[in-house]
Structure 1
């Protein structure tokens, strides 16, 4: 991982597992289209955590794709807009794609550990991320989706435009929900064999 020239923002970490992840996502049939089951799971994430935005996020070499997405207004574009996530703190439209260098999920995938940011502005290495200024994100809670092959497929996460005291309870909740979604993914795979 490297820092930008000003020494403030931690740039998106190098993801050596990305090619293998892409192969696994293709094998599972994930990563390029919305999925009603993942949208439903994202809605559950929002309900359980009380967060306005929640995602089931698969990450490839170039971008992030929200196969499951919940927003306060329930508005988001379809599968192949090819544009970055474009919400505002005022509740603008949210798209299913986001650049890999935006947000915190790529850090979770590479670290293979859950991440709790109660107020991203309290963490200089994360405060400079484009989602803070462009979208208005102030808090993040995410966990990796590490499947039975050992590959981190992506994440589940919730975000808010206000600081949130997620605490240890939030950390345990997001990890538990990630495990629950992995069970669903594995059942799906077994059903398609």
Structure 2
């Protein structure tokens, strides 16, 4: 498994995440509903809203038996935070050298991942809204638009509910 790179703006990104005071916050019905909606709208096995901290990935909301919060180095979401693209789609993780030996692929049967970056107003990526499945697949343009819209809603809701300190 290839560890994700860190973006060039990593110090600013981590500072923004810390100022939001969202890590390890209480569960929230709005984020839980976004996750439930995307599971049903896209017909996938699981979904979540992840936040990428310095060494860990934390889920603000998640419904998924396939993945767990944990090390940033083992995170699909961390690859997206460091990417130039706003979306990462892995159609079959067993065929992708970045993820083929990932524990969720080897032991939990994860095959598909698609995530859309959660981007704050200043352009900083703090995490993603993502979906996972046990079957290889790809999203169509309408499904990608749904994922993009939900990532934008999540970013707006984070900024509304967790205004930064200072």
Distance 2:91 2:36 in 1: 21
Map residues 61-72 of structure 1 onto 2, 5 A cutoff: 61-71=54-64
Residue 153 of structure 1: which of 117, 121, 126 is its match? 126
Runs of 4+ off more than 4 Å: none
CA apart distance, 1:16: 4.2
What's the secondary structure of 1:173's corresponding residue?
helix
1:71-124 per-residue CA deviation (whole Å, 9 max, x = no partner) reads 3xxxxxxxxxxxxxxx55xxxxx65x2211223111110114201122122323
Listed as ranges, the gaps of 5+ residues in structure 1 are: 1-8, 72-86, 89-93
Q: Does 1:23 align with 2:15?
A: yes
CA apart distance, 1:189: 4.6
CA apart distance, 1:31: 1.7
* Change in 2 beyond 3 A, CA 1:120/1:67: same
* Change in 2 beyond 3 A, CA 1:105/1:52: same
Q: How many residues of Structure 1 are paired with residues of Structure 2 in the alignment?
A: 163
- The TM-score with structure 2 as length reference comes to 0.83
CA apart distance, 1:38: 1.8
Distance 1:144 1:163 in 2: 21
RMSD value, Cα: 2.4
**Contact 2:4-2:82 within 8 A present in 1 as well:** no
Distance 2:113 2:45 in 1: 11
Q: Does 1:46 align with 2:18?
A: no
* Change in 2 beyond 3 A, CA 1:146/1:159: same
